[in-house]
Amino acid sequence: MGNNTEVIKMVEVRLENLTKKFGDFTAVNSLNLTIKDGEFLVLLGPSGCGKTTTLRMIAGLEEPTSGKIYFGDRDVTYLPPKDRNVSMVFQSYAVWPHMTVYENIAFPLKIKKYPKDEIERRVKWAAELLQIEELLDRYPAQLSGGQRQRVAVARAIVVEPDVLLMDEPLSNLDAKLRVAMRAEIKKLQQKLKVTTIYVTHDQVEAMTMGDRIAVMNRGKLLQVGSPTEVYLNPNSVFVATFIGAPEMNILEVSVGEGYLEGEGFKIELPDDIMEALRNYIGKTVLFGIRPEHMVIEGISELAHMRRTAKIKGVVDFVEALGTDTIVHVRFEESIIKVKLPGHIPLEIGKEVSVLIDLDKIHIFDKNSEKAII
């Protein structure tokens, strides 16, 4: 804490070929990842992809089968949790019901045998940061879920951890509180600058909180990058469809000389894009376009689109979300979802022209599902 500063030490965390097997099952498969000093890194992936296991290995709660974990230059791979100076916040909060808020927050300091006045000073500091000074005498049963979560976070930062680990800490909160707490945790982390690894399966949480996002699936790290990078340049169909809602449209198309052809639509392509697809002419690839990277001619603005391709279809279904409208446009057997800002009344069965932003299209290899462009 230092006397006048609230900045916690910064530590780089490096994972080298980190692997965890449970019997024959590989939960984490040769992970290589460096989390920078003071960074907020989000580990994102579907249930069972190995996020929690990775976090538990960093905390020292799980021993890797192979690979290394470094905090700065220190090899901590086989150190017990107490020698790592990490704190972890769990989904279940795990605050102790028989202790007051004060005692809960003070507990890790007592274990470390801090003097009483230092404990008092730190508990006050953490409680102030989390805005729970008024609650110090209460028991967890007398708190709301959001307040309990604040206590858990206060208890995690009170020891000035080198690394803060958070495992889906907001998933037990209702939707509104979750949004508010996202911003609070992010601001707190920016203030403390503590290296933070945050696990979630919620892509919106990842996009809004992470300095960088590491996307995992089936024990493997697929892509690491800033939220904008992974959103704009996903390296695979998995990342492309996991991030963004509604998800990216993915359609099978064949590559012709100067165009892509799917079921019921044909997209003319400029030379520079064709150049990247030269080796794929005559083959089938996966075409990807996000719903927000298209407009409907005559209905919404072309805004920032530099060059477009036009395809004609029929309105199949309309989802009015209030702030946006999702229009499902049918092209014979294919359906493409287009997201338009605002409330757009459109009749089902109406013929429309969809304009595709050609600078936002994605092409993936059909077999490897890796991005070609």
What are residue 266's DSSP bridge partners? 261
Write down how long the chain is.
373
Nearest approach, Cβ of residue 58 and ligand ATP (Å): 12
24 binds ligand ATP (CB under 6 A): no
Q: Is 149 exposed, middle or buried (0-12, 13-18, 19+ CB in 10 A)?
A: buried
Among the listed ranges 31-39, 45-53, 184-192, 316-324, the one in contact with ligand ATP (CB under 6 A) is 45-53
Peptide bond into 246 cis (omega under 30): yes
Paired with 372 in beta bridges are none
| Residue 48 in the binding site for ligand ATP (CB under 6 A) | yes
52 sits near ligand ATP (criterion: CB under 6 A): yes
Cβ 267 vs Cβ 310: under 8 Å? no
Q: Which one of residues 41, 51, 122, 152 is an interface residue with ligand ATP (CB under 6 A)? A: 51
DSSP E strands: which ranges in 168-275? 195-200, 212-217, 220-225, 249-256, 259-262, 265-268
Q: Single out the residue of 373, 327, 320, 311 nearest to residue 343, CA to CA.
A: 320
Question: Rounded to the nearest whole angstrom, what is the least distance from the CB of residue 368 to ligand ATP in the complex?
Answer: 23
Describe the strand order of the beta sheet including 259-262 as a list of residue ranges. 265-268, 259-262, 249-256, 284-289, 362-365
Nearer Cβ to ligand ATP, position 48 or 341?
48
C-beta of 22: minimal distance to ligand ATP in Å? 3
Residue with Cβ nearer ligand ATP (26 or 233)? 26
Nearer to ligand ATP (CB atom), residue 45 or residue 227: 45
Query: Do residues 195 and 230 touch, judged by C-beta distance below 8 A?
Result: no
Minimum distance from residue 198 beta carbon to ligand ATP (Å): 12
Please pick, from the candidates 17, 22, 118, 245, the single residue that binds ligand ATP as defined by CB under 6 A.
Answer: 22
Give the number of residues in contact with ligand ATP, rule: CB under 6 A: 12
Return all residues near 291 (Cβ < 8 A) that are at least 6 apart. Answer: 246, 248, 249, 326, 337, 338, 339
User: Shortest Cβ distance from residue 239 to ligand ATP (Å)?
Assistant: 15
Site for ligand ATP in 175-214 (CB under 6 A): 201
Residue 45 is a binding residue for ligand ATP (CB under 6 A): yes
For position 50 contacting ligand ATP by CB under 6 A, the verdict is: yes
Report which of 8, 159, 188 is spatially closest to residue 83, judged by C-alpha positions. Answer: 159
Q: In whole angstroms, what is the distance from residue 345 CA to residue 207 CA?
A: 30
63 binds ligand ATP (CB under 6 A): no
Q: Which stretch binds ligand ATP (CB under 6 A): 47-55, 72-80, 122-130, 266-274?
A: 47-55
> Please, which of residues 137-156 interact with ligand ATP by CB under 6 A?
none
Look at strands 259-262 and 265-268 and give their pairing: antiparallel
Which of 11, 31, 35, 49 binds ligand ATP (CB under 6 A)? It is 49
With CB atoms as reference, the residue minimizing the distance to ligand ATP is 52
Instruction: List contacts with ligand ATP (CB under 6 A).
Output: 22, 25, 27, 45, 47-53, 201
